[in-house]
Copies of this chain bind each other. A is one copy, B any other.
Amino acid sequence: VNTNLELFITPTELRDSLSGKVAAVIDVLRATTTIIEAMANGARSVHPTVSVEDAVDLANRLGRADVVLSGERHARPIEGFDLGNSPREFTAEAVSGKIVVMTTTNGTPALEAASAAEQCVVAAYANLQAVAERIAQTDQPIAIICAGRSNAFSLDDVLCAGALIRAIRARRSGTLVLNDAAIAARALEQQFRSRLARVFARTAAARQIVDAGLAEDVAYCLMQDRHSVVPVAAGRQITL
């Protein structure tokens, strides 16, 4: 059995409908890593928003007491918000039983674009094997959508996508038919696998996080399979 697997480097590459496909969204530094952490630590749901204003409005509408308001601008926490976008902050103590409202620059457009799929899961190194397991069980064509960076190629997301493609392939008997970007992601992941931390340090995303004084986040986002949760995005809401 042949299954098409398409990788999209940024959400702006999406042209055809995602209906009938299973989609995975990756913003490994840091939005999807943080969402996985929040859901693994007992958050009821995560609601991504584009703007800071939308996040505040939604928090007020949902009931400020039940909400953890979080997000970043230029990788830094937003004044007056409960948390930033550092996965290390999303402990059970901080988020268990709460609704997380999160505004992030690149992750939100990707999640919104991808949630038009039949099923859309949230992926990062943190839950790579669990996502691969879930996707390998479907017969549908697969779309992996990288958040990218200002709608441009972001190597961190592409490397994570390459690792996910490898994990999916390992669980399938049939052939995965890869598009150009997926072929590239597999090759890059293979080439850089043994020195992932070093190549991540060169990416624009990691450099911005380091500049914001959050260097530990980069190493944290590279830790593989800390969690087995597979958050699902539908509409503007992410749940388990």
Contact = CB atoms under 8 A, between A and B. Distances in A.
Contacts of A196: none
Interface residues of A, number: 30
A13 B151 contact: yes
Nearest to A154: B180
Contact of A184 (B149, B158, B190): B158
B180 A204 contact: yes
Contacts of A181: 152-153, 155
Given A13-B151, A150-B15, A151-B13, A183 B158 contact: no
Contacts of A179: 204
B199 A191 contact: no
Q: Which of A15, A149, A184 has the most CB of B within 10 A?
A: A184
Interface in A183-206: 183-184, 187-188, 190-192, 199, 202-204
Nearest to A205: B180
A132 to B, nearest CB: 22
A9 interface: yes
Contacts of A152: 8-9, 13, 15, 180-181
Interface of A: 7-10, 12-13, 15, 149-156, 158, 179-181, 183-184, 187-188, 190-192, 199, 202-204
